[in-house]
Chains A and B, each alone.
Chain A
Amino acid sequence: MKILILMSLILCLPLLALAQPKSPQSRKLFPYDYTIDDLPNGLRLVTVPTDYPNLVALYIVVQAGSRNEVEAGKTGFAHFFEHIMFRGSENYTAERREAIFKRAGAETNAYTSDDRTVYHATFSKDDLDPIMKMEADRFMRLKYALPEFQTESLAVKGEYDKNSANPIRQLFERLRETAFNKHTYSHTTMGFIKDIEAMPTQYDYSLEFFRRFYRPEYTTVVIVGDVTRPQAVDLTRKYFGEWKRGNYVADIPAEPAQTGPRISHIDWPSPTLPIVAVAFRGPAYSDVTKDKMALDLLASVAFGQNSDLYQKLVLKEQKVETLGASFDDQMDPELFAVFARIKDPKDSDYVRDQILETYKRYTTELISQAKLDATRSRLRYGFAMTMNSSNAIASALAPFISLRRSPETIDKLAVVMDAITPQDIRDMAKKYFRDESRTIVTLASKAKESAKNDAKEGEK
């Protein structure tokens, strides 16, 4: 039995607090005490002391992602830049960085998505000072030469190549491209291959990207663990205080309303199981309006592992190998998408139609109160359960920091969640699951004979 946690839930809900006295009204979704301190240059510090001893999790959240790639030919740059951030700075070579992290016994990495880039490390609390100093150096004084820049662009291309073997990624890329025309969500975080191939020649643009977005007003330092507020504030001021505020604001084009259903198909060159994605334009993240949260709950009820559709297609009829919904919390309106990988190509149309029928069903049918309550409970506790270490708490907090720059948004979201009724869910389904807002993308093996083998081969 596996814990089923909605992706949006993981994204929405920060980690549960570690140290919280048990009181009847402490039903806060983020039950940890935290403090917010702002530097004059616009940098924000969020400190969350926990009872987990000896470790601190340092998460530096930059509010820049692939969404900010507004110029033509520059897709994939936020992600590429994340790679460049490891190539050395004024006072620390890449090798010295590695050595310092090793001696700190650290677990460290970074990631980029549509709306944010997150640099994170979990390490012994005794090393907070030297690591803050080192991190500040790369955020303020990043330094890399052209050859390293060009070598790194090959690594990024390598990442694209390795990903391209996975049909799901290609499908997702096509879905975004088809559903969005103007908004920057039309490209994925990885970017278009032609832009990735052009990266080696974009050294000057990379410096421009750094200058625009790697600025204190777009950055939040999150420290969770065996730390005190005075300690965190002191180190942040000491090492990040000199950072200069910027003045660039990206002009993200709004996506116009979709006026008719869209469809696209990918011919996959090798044997694989067919995949179908059925998506609708959905709302952006909000901790005030009901739209997003209502649909999050619906995603679990209608397409989760306990749903009628899953029971039918995956367990009883066994026509579908995997089924799931994807509906992230994003800055701008995002897609509500359902993906299914089908065992036999001849069932592709049937599965697509079953998904469409399920979408339609909830535009008229009310979910029972009992089901809604159980789902709400599941989301609440699912979120609570993910926060089982300082690192996990910081990790859960990061998306919310990038969305609203404060953990407060999590509890506002919980208030919205608790107020949702079955009628709200039906209303939102009706509002968003309209034919003219729909995009369907399918993927299947090209050759006819390979289609026969698809039924026997599984995804390895």
Chain B
Amino acid sequence: MQRQITTLLITFAVVMPLLARPGFANTPKTMATKISSTLLPNRSPLVTFRIIFMTGAASDPSGKEGVAALTAAMIAQGGTRTISYEQIVEAMYPMATSFDSQIDKEMTVFTGTTHVDNLDKYYDLISQMLLDPGFRADDFTRLKTDAINFLKVLLRQSNDEELGKEYLYNVIYQRHPYGHHNIGTIGSIEKLTLDDVRAFYKANYTQANTVMGLAGGYPKELPAKVETDFAKLPAGRQARVKVDRPKLASGMHISIIKRETRATALSLGFPINVTRADKDWPALAVVASWFGQHRSSNSYLYQQLREARGLNYGDYAYIEYFPRGMFQFTPDPNQGRRSQIFQIWIRPVVPENGHFVLRAALYEYDKLVRDGMSKEAFEATREFLTKYNNILTQTQDSQLGYALDSRYYNIPDYVTYMREQLAKLTLHDVNRAIRKYLKSDAMRIAIITRDAESLRDAIINNKPSPITYNSPKPKGITEEDKVIENYKLNVKPEAVVIVPVEKVFE
């Protein structure tokens, strides 16, 4: 690639605001203190904070969807009781740093890194932000507007790929604590008041819910100081929202979001009963990596749909929530969940190929479930993943994030754990895991496209969807295409619905 004016291009790109992320932790408390901690001291000149509160969007009270996210935003992007937000920005300028929040269903993490030279000043600021937030009216107005705009404008109108993924989650988790976008719903955010935020903070930002993550060359007195300072929070109790496995009506269900857009975006998935805490997770991680390693030409789906057929920019598969995947090569840590889905992400295709590529994705999925992985694929992927895990944890910040997630999932150090588990894994284990967990009769699909009616019509009538290319293709591909073009989707007409985009996230 050519790299020129990169920073200029980044500056001029439309950037999505950070989605808040939630999380959970079932860790034993340290003896004398109420907050938990994960500490990774080293000789780095940088000090990284990852402070988790075991609360998130799954804790939004009914009718107040979005309050967890808004509370986190008020803390990280608002003033304290004594200092305004503008003053905070001004103070952080010479330190070249920031303090950010990320919210997910079960945990909310506040993150920031500073050079050790500036540690005292930085910690002073962020501890006030966390422990003595201002909950100021002007910040509230600004952040509430930002949240609504994020859903209404950015997600609904500027990013079909993220929209498809998030809508898929909403569909799968309907009537479930995970059922609304982390930021909330437009209707409920509009009704939120500052008192709601204060109440949420009081109830959820407790010592019992706090996990302090610290990494870097910090002075050895720092952890004790943080513990002392956080004793200011109410003690609280570890209370977890009840999270069951989502119950889905059987059969394939397709939601076609109708939107004025150039290309057709697709996301497919269904719940799986496996998280990183389970012994079968490493096996499924191998499958997901082989089938659709994120943004990698190693992905099997990528090779079939992009490399061989030139259909789109990429095709990937996941077994953990990975928002903002288009902007990143690796997922952000601290989005631990008790329920996950298997997901296929098909990047936008030209609308004429929408039906074909939907069929192709399902054809490949069916083939995966039916035939499993080959020995060669298993061994190459196992070797890749064993080493690639080092890349996932190559920064101090990500090391800390993964350490906190290991705590949450009650597994050892991620890289070591995976190396050991992958070494023990066999092809049989992997294919058994595919049959046990990836065989679903409740596939859910979200498609974003302009001509929703004709796509729906084509799907429910199983119309042939022939494909043409601008260059000759090998015989293997053309033979396969003949199968895909007429691949029958077992879906009832009433299970294919059209949703106007204005209704989404309302």
Contact = CB atoms under 8 A, between A and B. Distances in A.
A21 B43 CA distance: 7
B4 A114 contact: yes
Contact of B46 (A6, A16, A169, A377): A16
Say what secondary structure dominates the interface of chain A. mixed
Nearest to A104: B387
B264 to A, nearest CB: 16
A374 B7 contact: no
A79 B14 CA distance: 27
Contacts of B217: 22
B44 A51 contact: yes
Given A1-B77, A114-B4, A123-B387, A98 B395 contact: no
Interface in B368-402: 380, 383-391, 394-397
A359 B43 CA distance: 43
Nearest to B298: A102
B118 A381 contact: yes
B99 interface: yes
Contacts of A114: 4
Given A124-B387, A168-B12, A324-B11, A389 B395 contact: yes
Interface stretch (A105-113, A411-419, A436-444): A105-113
**Interface size range on B against A:** 35 or more
A385 interface: yes
Interface in B88-129: 88-90, 92-100, 113-118
Interface residues of A, number: 76
Nearest to A103: B383
B96 A51 contact: no
Contacts of A374: 93-94
B115 A105 contact: no
B42 interface: yes
Contact of A1 (B42, B92, B115): B92
A18 B215 CA distance: 13
A189 B3 CA distance: 8
B5 interface: yes
A102 B8 contact: no
A54 to B, nearest CB: 5
Contact of A382 (B4, B90, B96, B329): B96
Contacts, number: 175
A126 B390 CA distance: 12
A103 B380 contact: yes
Contacts of B386: 105
A157 B196 CA distance: 55
Contact of A381 (B6, B12, B95): B95
A273 B51 CA distance: 41
Nearest to A5: B96
Nearest to B85: A1
Given A10-B7, A113-B4, A52 B118 contact: no
A389 B8 CA distance: 24
A341 B12 contact: yes
Given A104-B387, A385-B115, A3 B97 contact: yes
A55 interface: yes
Interface in A1-57: 1-7, 10, 16-22, 31, 51-55
Given A55-B394, A98-B297, A377-B95, A109 B1 contact: yes
Interface string A57-86: 000000000000000000000010010000
B298 A110 contact: no
A89 interface: no
A178 interface: no
B384 A172 contact: no
A105 B45 contact: no
A52 B117 CA distance: 21
B389 A339 contact: no
A159 B2 contact: yes
Nearest to B90: A306
A166 interface: yes
A10 B9 CA distance: 15
A379 B386 CA distance: 37
Given A55-B390, A105-B390, A377-B95, A384 B4 contact: no
B141 to A, nearest CB: 15
Interface string B28-58: 0000000000000011111000000000000
Contacts of B7: 5-7, 10, 324, 326
A325 to B, nearest CB: 9
B113 A54 contact: no
A390 interface: yes
B8 A122 contact: no
A1 B100 contact: yes
Contacts of B93: 306, 374, 378
Contacts of B415: 54
Contacts of A316: none
Nearest to A382: B96
A153 interface: no
A79 B89 contact: no
Interface in A250-294: none
Contact of B158 (A306, A381, A385, A460): A460
B8 A324 contact: yes
Contact of B113 (A10, A112, A306, A388): A388
Given A55-B394, A381-B94, A388-B396, A105 B384 contact: yes
A388 B397 contact: yes
B2 A113 contact: yes
A274 B94 CA distance: 33
Nearest to A341: B12
A124 B385 CA distance: 11
Give the one of A4, A103, A306, A380 with max B CB within 10 A: A103
Contacts of A339: 8, 12
A190 B383 contact: no
Contacts of A22: 45, 116, 217
A458 B42 CA distance: 45
Given A102-B384, A103-B383, A113 B45 contact: no
A341 B7 CA distance: 15
A339 B11 CA distance: 10
Contacts of B115: 381, 384-385
A69 to B, nearest CB: 12
A32 to B, nearest CB: 10
Interface of A: 1-7, 10, 16-22, 31, 51-55, 79, 82, 98-99, 102-107, 109-114, 122-124, 126-127, 159, 166, 168-169, 172, 188-190, 306, 322, 324, 326, 339, 341, 373-375, 377-385, 388-392, 458-460
Given A1-B98, A114-B4, A459-B13, 7 more contacts: A1-B77, A10-B7, A19-B43, A324-B7, A384-B46, A384-B115, A459-B12
12 contacts: A1-B77, A1-B92, A1-B99, A5-B96, A7-B8, A99-B380, A103-B380, A104-B387, A159-B1, A322-B11, A392-B395, A459-B13
Interface of B: 1-9, 11-14, 42-46, 76-77, 88-90, 92-100, 113-118, 158, 217, 297-298, 329, 380, 383-391, 394-397, 415
5 tightest A-B CB contacts, nearest first: A105-B387, A7-B7, A105-B388, A382-B96, A377-B94
